[in-house]
Structure 1
Amino acid sequence: MALISPSRRLRRTPFSEGVEAAGVKAYTVYNHMLLPTVFRSVEEDYHHLKSAVQVWDVAVERQVELRGPDAGRLMQMLTPRDLRGMMPGQCYYVPIVDETGGMLNDPVALKLAEDRWWISIADSDLLFWVKGIAYGYRLDVLVDEPDISPLAVQGPKSDELMARVFGDAVRDVKFFRFGWFDFKGRSMAVARSGYSKQGGFEIYVDGADMGMPLWNALMEAGKDLDVHAGCPNGIERIEGGLLSYGNDMTDENTPHECGLGRFCNTSTAIGCVGRDALLRVSQEGPVRQVRAIEIHGDAVPGCDRLWPLMAGDRQVGHVSSAAYSPDFVTNVGVGMVRMTHWDEGTELDVVTPTGVQPVTVKETFWI
């Protein structure tokens, strides 16, 4: 396996020292930063995530901050989700679209105040798009990347670990809400959210200098909870139907194709730049859509390219993510399937690098 050459263009994170000490085995590049992908093994990390608690370096989830009188207006221009009822302290999952309705990102937005928002982004250079919209419309708003680095605590024992470091009040934070908690004199936003289905929190660490002190405090407090360094797990996220921007969806897909129509209030999201395009999609419906794909037969390799889904000799979609699930004893996958073949129970074939295997289309994911 070739190595990644370090440079200033590929940034370390405030937690990299802890990640390396924990024995990280692999990285990917995400928002021009290092994102750990394996510690012990994908399978061992998977089982541990479901049974204990892990600390994840997800500083790659960079924040795009909107601050100023027009911050709320700009935020609504970016997404077809109606934000008028959103209160400070809430987190919303918000599809971000361009003028054609194509997905540019699928972040979580945090409303800090009426005039201040954070957009916690997936892997794309969204900052430039947001700056362009703000400048083009001459909005009274500052758009920048603050020195905020998320650290996730995920797994069934995450409440106990967080309470030991931030106090019992952190247990009261509701799903997709956040509160402000003190760590060594620094106030940090702590949200009940994260890129797993096992429950947990994301800590928005204010300042790179607080990275390792917080990492070490969590590791020390969680020794008897079997805390380990971890990372988003490919098997678990596919089981739960958590999509990966750049893998399962791109700017060629609308939110409705990605199964995110419930996050689009197209008729009332006045000002969204992609609203007109999405009005047509919402009325007519998509002709293809994301589905859970069960792949039968031998364990499949990692999916680093699109695998064609075939109905006889006709391609009717593709698989974009796949892995063997130890808990469900089958290959789990994410696919984009044409409406003619997306019904529950439809039998198709997928062309993998190791051969053709039969698949079954499912309407719901495993967890």
Structure 2
Amino acid sequence: MKSRQDERFVRTEFASVIGTPPYAATPIRSRSGLKRTAFFPTISAIATDFKLHNTYLKPDYFTDPVEEYWAIRRTAGLLDVTGEEIVEVKGPDAEALLDDIMPRDVRKMKDGHCYYSVLLHDHGGIVEDGILVRFNKELFWWIGGPGNSEECLYANGVARNVSIESFNDRIHVASLQGPKSREILQQVCDADLTPVPFYGMIQAKVCGVPVTITRTGYTAELGYDIYVDVAHGAAFFADLWSTVQKAGGALCGSKSLGIRRIEAAILNFGQDFDWQHTPVEIGLGWMVSETKAPFKSQKALMAAEAHPYKQKLAGLRFDGREIPLIGDRIVVDGKERGVITSATGSPALDCPLAIGWLDIEAATPGTSVTVAFGDRSATATVVEMPFLDPERKLSKG
């Protein structure tokens, strides 16, 4: 498969002042700066190309994105996913606050479990999607990305007995993903991982370091996200990488993660959707509880549902070998009907795939479309998503 050169982006090298642990303390809570993660000593010995995510430099790839993809699919890939920001919600009103700004029923959560959910604006639009971790009724973590989650939680918690605090510069996140991830992690974990369910949580020691582990990830494979204090991060990551390497796993970067997340139709906030969209509009209507207590955006969501949406996110499978770019236009019967938001070449399916917004009447599976590549075009077919492992059996194994 062939990727087109996107002329809107160019590779550049530049000198810059970069923050390193321990990070400069500041009372200002807005995100700022350009920083290395706590895992940088190990990563920088191999990686040369980085991307910026939520103020942190993250490896784009180490060797080859496709090789790293296959490590995630066949053994295990170790990733630095720092920048997935932990916001602690703590206090007697923590459960009530979260239940009021989420469509899922937080009161039904069990301690030691996680939800995939969204935070909502009053108008029903999405603040951000992420993982909610419940330690107990008065202590939760919201784990998102570069969205405005901390501000949303703070604004809605002002009149409540609750504290909101970002741990973006205090806790960094490693992710071990792949069919052998449990087997490998168990070698250096002092707790039994076998009973930890899909979307479960446990606190333990890994490589002798206290951590929080959730059975979650961005790959739809069996996997674990591991949250570690910055002070222990460098030694922890080096020791974990040594174990992964001996087991035949690989260090993996953002590009391999991106391939797998598109195959799995895991949506990316700020790319596939944003604050303009409701959970129903992007295919997450199953999140909206019909039995929970009234919540802030409930009436707005009900009103939105009463008016049919004009577009939906759809999956496209391409006939040729050329991978489209974000922003390429989707044409049906000579009329522009949508736009590409994510695209990749799938090593497993051996064809290009894309996610895009498409007019409802053109989004029926089996519909043939054309995607304009500047002065060229390619044909594709609308297909169901996820593209691979539609029943999510791999992650639940």
TM-score band, normalised by shorter chain? over 0.9
Q: Percent identity?
A: 24
Conserved 8 A contact 1:159-1:200: yes
2:311 match? 288
1:223-280 residue CA offsets vs partner (Å, 9 max, x unmatched): 3311221134222111111111111111121111211111121563522x32221112
Alignment partners' CA distance in 1, 2:160 and 2:251: 42
TM-fit CA distance, 1:17: 1.4
1:26 match? 49
Amino acid at match of 1:130: L
Aligned pair partner of 1:345 in 366, 369, 377: 366
1:250 match? 274
Alignment partners' CA distance in 1, 2:378 and 2:313: 19
Deviates more, 1:30-39 or 1:79-88: 30-39
Alignment partners' CA distance in 2, 1:241 and 1:354: 28
TM-fit CA distance, 1:326: 2.2
State yes or no: 1:3 paired with 2:13. yes
1:110-161 residue CA offsets vs partner (Å, 9 max, x unmatched): 01111111001023132122212222xx111110113222211111111111
Conserved 8 A contact 2:371-2:379: yes
1:230 match? 252
Aligned pair partner of 1:36 in 59, 78, 94: 59
Alignment partners' CA distance in 2, 1:269 and 1:282: 19
SS at match of 2:68: helix
Amino acid at match of 2:252: G
1:277-296 residue CA offsets vs partner (Å, 9 max, x unmatched): 11123444533221211122
Conserved 8 A contact 2:190-2:205: no
Conserved 8 A contact 2:207-2:239: no
SS at match of 2:108: coil
State yes or no: 1:260 paired with 2:270. no
Alignment partners' CA distance in 2, 1:315 and 1:184: 54
Structure-2 change in CA distance of 1:178 and 1:252 (3 Å): same
SS at match of 2:147: coil
1:319 match? 340
1:52 match? 75
Amino acid at match of 1:59: T
Amino acid at match of 1:325: S
RMSD over aligned CA atoms reads: 1.9
1:276-334 residue CA offsets vs partner (Å, 9 max, x unmatched): 21112344453322121112223215x3x322211233222211111111221211111
| TM-score computed with the length of structure 1 as normaliser | 0.92
State yes or no: 1:14 paired with 2:35. no
Conserved 8 A contact 2:188-2:207: no
Conserved 8 A contact 2:126-2:278: yes
1:86-129 residue CA offsets vs partner (Å, 9 max, x unmatched): 01101000112212211121110001111111001023132122
Amino acid at match of 2:166: E
TM-fit CA distance, 1:200: 0.8
Amino acid at match of 1:323: T
Amino acid at match of 1:2: T
TM-fit CA distance, 1:354: 6.6
Structure-2 change in CA distance of 1:174 and 1:42 (3 Å): same
Structure-2 change in CA distance of 1:6 and 1:296 (3 Å): farther
Alignment partners' CA distance in 2, 1:123 and 1:328: 31
Conserved 8 A contact 1:56-1:230: yes
Alignment partners' CA distance in 2, 1:183 and 1:159: 12
SS at match of 2:35: coil
Structure-2 change in CA distance of 1:45 and 1:223 (3 Å): closer
Alignment partners' CA distance in 2, 1:183 and 1:127: 28
| TM-score computed with the length of structure 2 as normaliser | 0.85
Aligned pair partner of 1:170 in 193, 207, 212: 193
SS at match of 1:170: coil
State yes or no: 1:80 paired with 2:103. yes
Alignment gaps of 5+ in structure 2 = 1-10, 20-32, 389-397
TM-fit CA distance, 1:163: 0.5
Aligned pair partner of 1:332 in 347, 350, 353: 353
SS at match of 1:43: helix
1:178-220 residue CA offsets vs partner (Å, 9 max, x unmatched): 1111246653221111110221101111x21111222122122
Alignment partners' CA distance in 1, 2:98 and 2:191: 33
SS at match of 1:212: helix
Amino acid at match of 1:287: K
State yes or no: 1:198 paired with 2:221. yes
Alignment gaps of 5+ in structure 1 = none
Structure-2 change in CA distance of 1:184 and 1:225 (3 Å): closer
Aligned residues: 360
Aligned pair partner of 2:117 in 87, 94, 99: 94
